[in-house]
Amino acid sequence: MADDTAIAFRDEKVAAPPMAAHVRVRHGLRKTKNWVQLFKFCLVGSTGYAINLAVFTLLAVVLDVHHIAAATVAFLVALANNFWWNRHWTFKAGDGHAGFQAARFFVVSVLAFLFSLAMLELLISGLGVPKVLAQAISIAAATPLNFLGNKMWSFGQGR
C-alpha cells in the first residue's frame, strides 16, 4: 500500500513533505560543496577579520574610542569587503539581484554582529578580557551564525 501511495503521490504532482531539520543537516554535512563553501567563507572572513581587528585596534587602543563604537565602525568597514567576495567567489551568486542579496547580507551580518557585540561586552566588562582579544573571540564565535544565514538566505537557492 505504501507503493500505491507513492505512485499516487507522483501522479498528482504534489510536493513531497518537507524533510526534518536534522535530516537536512545530515545531508548537508555529506556534501563536499558545502565544505568548500565553508572554507571559502572562512578565507573571505579572515580578510574581513583582519580589517575588523585593525580598525578596532586603531580606534579602541590607539585612539581610546569606546569599545562598542570601535566595534561598530570596524564592522561597517569590513562589511563591504566581505559582501563582494562572498557574493562573487564563495557562493558564486553574481547572477542574483545584488540589491536583494546586499540587503539580506546586511541583515544577517547585523544579527551576527549584535551577537558578537553582546559577547564583546560580556568578555570586556564582565570578565575583564583585554579589548582586542575579546573582539577576536567574539567575531569567531559569531562566524557559524553568519555562514549559515548567508548560505541559506542571502545567497541561497531561493535568491
- Asked if the structure places residue 95 within a domain, the reply is yes
- Asked if the structure places residue 94 within a domain, the reply is yes
- Asked if the structure places residue 18 within a domain, the reply is no
- Asked if the structure places residue 12 within a domain, the reply is no
Number of domains within the chain = 1
- Asked if the structure places residue 84 within a domain, the reply is yes
Find the domain containing 77 and state its range: 33-154
**pLDDT 10s digits, 111-140:** 999 999 999 999 999 999 999 999 999 999
**pLDDT 10s digits, 25-83:** 566 567 788 889 889 988 998 999 999 999 999 999 999 999 999 999 999 999 988 98
Q: Residue 78 CB: number of other CB atoms within 10 A?
A: 24
pTM: 0.68
- Asked if the structure places residue 4 within a domain, the reply is no
- Asked if the structure places residue 82 within a domain, the reply is yes
- Asked if the structure places residue 142 within a domain, the reply is yes
Three cell numbers written together for 145: 551564525
